[in-house]
Homo-oligomer: A and B are copies of this chain.
Amino acid sequence: MEKLFHLLIMTEKKIKNIFVQGAISADFIADSIAKHSSKTEIGGHSIFLGQVRADEIDEKQVAAIDYTAYEELALAQMHQIREDVFSKYPLSCMHVHHSLGVVNAGEICLFVFTSSKHRKPAMDACDELVERIKAELPIWGKEIFADASHQWKENK
């Protein structure tokens, strides 16, 4: 019974989802911030938001990015990143959300949120998470132009 319970916890931990359909709204971010007011051991929150840019490429402007992911692999990779970052920094909380599907220029597609007693671990962990998310998660952005043509985004 205890073993089963442990297994359920492990499973729940494993399948923690980071993906949301479409853009991440400011209200969603506000709710997430507000939820931390009961955690009075926290002294600092660090947040990174990725926003879709209306880049101009060969005289055409990006209107939106359509995100796809190898979801199962991405969640497994994210699980590992989460474990690594939690064991490296004294964090109270860590939240990651990434869009799937169409996100228009000016909308938020990535929300990384870390909290700790003192400010430095939250800031450093947030930076590291963003770097690793961009480098290690199998997610692809298709830049869609106003004329409906597209090109595949490449991270620098």
Query: Which A positions have Cβ atoms within 8 angstroms of B?
Result: 26-27, 29-31, 33-34, 36-54, 105-108, 115, 117-119, 123, 126-127, 130, 156
Identical subunits present: 2
Specify the chain B residue showing the minimal Cβ separation from A27: B30
**Contact B39 A43, beta carbon cutoff 8 Å:** no
**Is A31 in contact with B40, judged by CB distance below 8 angstroms?**
no
User: Please, how many angstroms separate the alpha-carbon atoms of A115 and B57 in the complex?
Assistant: 22
In whole angstroms, how far apart are the Cα atoms of A133 and B41 in the complex?
22
A48-B45, A119-B130 known; A53+B40 contact, CB < 8 A: yes
> Quick one: given A30-B26, A30-B29, are A105 and B40 in contact (CB under 8 Å)?
yes
Residues of B within 8 A of A123 (CB): 48, 126-127, 130
Shortest Cβ gap from A27 to chain B (Å) = 6
Point out the residues of chain B lying under 8 angstroms from A31, CB to CB: 26
B50, A47: Cβ atoms closer than 8 Å: no
